[in-house]
A and B are shown apart, each in its own frame.
Chain A
Amino acid sequence: MSVRKPLPRWADLILIPALNLTLAFLVSGLVVLIIGESPLEAVQILLFGAFGYGEGLGYTLHFATNFVFAGLAFSIASHAGQFNIGAEGQAYIAGLGAILVALFLDQTHWLIVMPLAMLAAGALGGFWGFVPGYLAAKRGSHVVITTIMFNFIAASIMVYLLNNVLKEPSNMAPESASVVNAGKMPQLREFWDFFGFAPVNVMLFVAIAALIFTYILLWRTELGYKIRTLGKNPDAAHYAGISNSAIVMISMTIAGAMAAMIALNEVLGVQNRLVLDFVFGYGFVGIAVGLMGRNHPIGIALAAILFGALYQGGQELAFMMPAVTREMIVVIQALVILFTGAMEGLFRGPLETIFGLIEFSKNSDAETEKDQHKDSKE
């Protein structure tokens, strides 16, 4: 025991992420400095690239959409005490459902395609989450192991399907046929020129809805109560008559279905066809988004925008500042993930001590006053 106390909410939610982020940028700045460029200029380019003009903002929001789904896929499972690192595979396999529905219904209307594609993708992604959930609940396998294995299985299945089943004979590349009409998600640029060529599409609103849905699910429903009870204290959940195995399976399924929405955003929003590796690591970044966002929808939204900005601004930076190569951008992104995700607790200990000391000095002041008061009374 030492002079420590749990942090106040605001410090936990705002101060710690801010400090982590600052540190990440300081170290990134050093990296930029080492290769002989100005960090300040780099930040300027990055920020302008991400938010400064319509097309950049559009890309940022497009990436953020992916990160919201991936972050929710991690967080919902996390609330049930499961470490879901399988959003990558869940989204990948879901691409199959999205494209098949879209191709089949390409000649109808997007309002028909979209919900059905969401259902099909959600079912496949959900199944890809359900199986590790089932194995964890009934067989005691650890979801970290099973979800990562399911990422590989998904990748292999998709390679096989794209090469042997979905590829059109006339096409040399391992990709499916393209959707041309109703299968495409409506792009926001069709309504606002402002977004230039950015692929931000209607899935952005689905992402916002998913955030709200998650909040209601976790904090306003009986199921959410059970999920949170299980995640915080499995023994108490058992005591409360909550079926631990059912909740694990349900939450993993919902998580998989969340990840599946990435497929619509990418396959039907950008590529218009199923291609290899369209998930592109978004699922893994979702872990950092979830951690940084404290598994809360508002936090996830903010973290998703941050990572979206890093992706988009980073590309801009690589373009404008040739010394900062594509690889350097990955380094900077990795630093942010490192400091906000993996080393999230870096400042926690010292801060708790500082807050403890502040509280302590306040209390002892009050106490001496009380003592004096007592003395004078005597």
Chain B
Amino acid sequence: MTENSPNIQQRPKTAAVGDVAIELVGINKHFGPVHANKDIDLKIRRGTVHGIVGENGAGKTTLMSILYGFYTADSGQILVDGKPVKINDSSHALELGIGMVHQHFMLVDNFTVLENVILGAEDSPLLKTSLAKARSVLAQLATDYELEVDPDALIEDLSVGGQQRVEILKALYRGAQTLILDEPTGVLTPSEADHLFKVLETLRAQGKTIILITHKLREIMAITDDVSVMRQGAMVKTLITKNTDPAELAELMVGRRVLLRVEKGEANPGDVLLSVRDLEVKDDMGVLRVKGVDIDVRAGEIVGIAGVAGNGQSDLLEAVTGMRQASAGKIQIKGKDLRFSGDAGGALVRKLGLAHVPEDRQEAGLVIEFEQWENAILGYQDDDKYGQGVFLSIAAARAEANEHIKKYDIRPANNRLKTANFSGGNQQKIVLAREMSSNPDVLVIGQPTRGVDIGAIEFIHNQIIAMRDAGKAVLLVSVELDEIRSLSDRILVMFDGHIVGEADPATATESELGLLMAGIEDQSATKPENNKERTK
């Protein structure tokens, strides 16, 4: 721990270009018993891109929220241009030239770009003058920073990348000199992410300071000048990016050596266990999301479905796992048709030998108010193992829960603990343990490591590979392209409800996959409206 001096030091500084733009000294923040930020010292140089990496829950977002005035620190000091300041709310932060682009966009969907940009920054009671002014400023910003967006487009009609550009424009319109971006690429296609990085480079060239919060080391290496690593609320180290490498950063993040690659042997594909033909699926609104998809998953192979979120993968997953009726087409599990009425699908797929880790564990995979043992039998509550007849054998359920805890290293090892009190990674392990222990023939996994720490990711990946090696057919959906590439034996790319291509993970490059994911054939296209499906 190098930069960890508990004493608050005040060093008055005069502002100069290239010098420290923002300095945090001895920042502490508690949330109840959680010490989210411990004595954080951080210096951010003007005109640089400063990366902040750390696992989920390391305190990155909390720290930035303190800088942006969302939270107030319990102790410590913030210096902007060398002057100590107290930032009480976000408008105050904006006055100081600090703008933030949130992970979840703060936009009004049915307003135009222009209306969103002036929202909260209107110059007069009449909108007309503000809008006119914003229009000219926006045009200027667009040419300066390659941030072209149609000012009259409705937000809901823009692609995710387009919406993000609006967020950046909003901050710049308010005169931000320092931009904080919280996990900006999580929702973007690779090409959109490239475009974002280009914008960031332009911003940096124009003297803006950028703070980039991410957990993707590749992005850190690609664009940042400096990088700060956080672990468990503490600032571990700040490094010059070009003097470090991903392995070192990962080690600093986790506190031990991590294998960044997944070790796996050759696949031995056997019989087709899951087969999908001409599948069409409609969502709750009646919009066709999956538009004729064929997939075969064989025993002993992992098929990964890549794609930008919202291109039908979730609906495909729901149909295959009996959560949703297919509107057309055929699904076969081990040669048996998946056909059901009403809400009987969930029970039927289990009977046919398919286990399912849902995309959002808190939404569907767990009852977070339940104790862990109660969740250890969710979906298998009718098994004779947990009591024949009407009664539930609590002893058997607890024994099973203890098995899971032991085999999957769920911590804390207490089956009476409320599930909500487990960390994200351990919650995911509770679901995985349950589904893998049911000894299925087909395993369908959505977002296996969403919100899971690096240490647990390694474990989960190894478990998935072990399932494959045990001869299971594994269908994997993830928005993390790296994950798909490292786990899958075959990659199917989904765009706009279609499988638009198949790739061999050993040979396919990221840009090839990225183009497929964006649904475009040629390299040049980075137009804003390309990945959001609106069929109405």
Contacts and interface: CB of A to CB of B under 8 A. Distances in A.
Given A220-B394, A222-B391, A232-B367, A240 B378 contact: yes
A75 B534 CA distance: 43
A152 interface: no
Interface in A343-372: 356, 359-360, 363-364, 367
Interface in A2-57: 2-5
Given A4-B32, A222-B391, A359-B32, A238 B364 contact: yes
A225 B381 contact: yes
B343 A243 contact: yes
Nearest to B31: A1
B363 interface: yes
B32 A240 contact: no
B293 interface: no
Contact of B379 (A5, A241, A244): A241
Contact of B346 (A232, A242, A245): A242
Among B369, B378, B391, residue most surrounded by chain A Cβ atoms (within 10 Å): B378
B369 to A, nearest CB: 5
Contact of B32 (A3, A220, A221, A241): A3
A323 to B, nearest CB: 48
B366 A236 contact: yes
Contact of A245 (B323, B343, B356, B382): B343
Contacts of A184: none
B253 to A, nearest CB: 21
A355 to B, nearest CB: 9
A336 to B, nearest CB: 28
A244 B390 contact: no
Contacts of B346: 238-242
Contacts of B378: 229, 236, 239-240
B459 interface: no
B32 A360 contact: yes
Contact of A367 (B35, B363, B364): B35
A47 B387 CA distance: 47
Contacts of B343: 238, 242-245
Contacts of A236: 363-367, 378
B344 A240 contact: no
B190 interface: no
Interface in B355-379: 356, 358, 363-370, 374, 377-379
B30 A3 contact: yes
Contact of B33 (A2, A223, A359): A359
Contact of A243 (B342, B363, B368): B342
Nearest to B322: A241
Contacts of A3: 30-32
Chain B interface, DSSP helix/strand/loop, else mixed = loop
Contacts of A240: 346, 378-379, 381
Contact of B374 (A1, A220, A225, A364): A225
A223 B382 CA distance: 9
A235 interface: yes
A242 B377 CA distance: 12
Among A225, A232, A239, residue most surrounded by chain B Cβ atoms (within 10 Å): A239
B347 interface: yes
Nearest to A216: B391
A296 interface: no
Contacts of B199: none
Nearest to A235: B364
B170 interface: no
A5 B367 CA distance: 19
Given A1-B31, A233-B368, A241 B344 contact: yes
A226 interface: yes
Among B323, B343, B356, residue most surrounded by chain A Cβ atoms (within 10 Å): B343
B50 interface: no
A224 interface: yes
Interface in B1-59: 30-33, 35
B114 to A, nearest CB: 33
A222 B381 CA distance: 6
Contacts of B381: 222, 225-226, 229, 240, 242
8 contacts: A221-B391, A222-B387, A222-B392, A228-B370, A229-B370, A241-B345, A245-B343, A356-B32
Interface of A: 1-5, 220-226, 228-229, 232-233, 235-236, 238-245, 356, 359-360, 363-364, 367
Given A239-B378, A241-B379, 4 more contacts: A223-B390, A240-B346, A240-B381, A245-B342
Interface of B: 30-33, 35, 71, 322-323, 342-350, 356, 358, 363-370, 374, 377-379, 381-382, 386-387, 390-392, 394
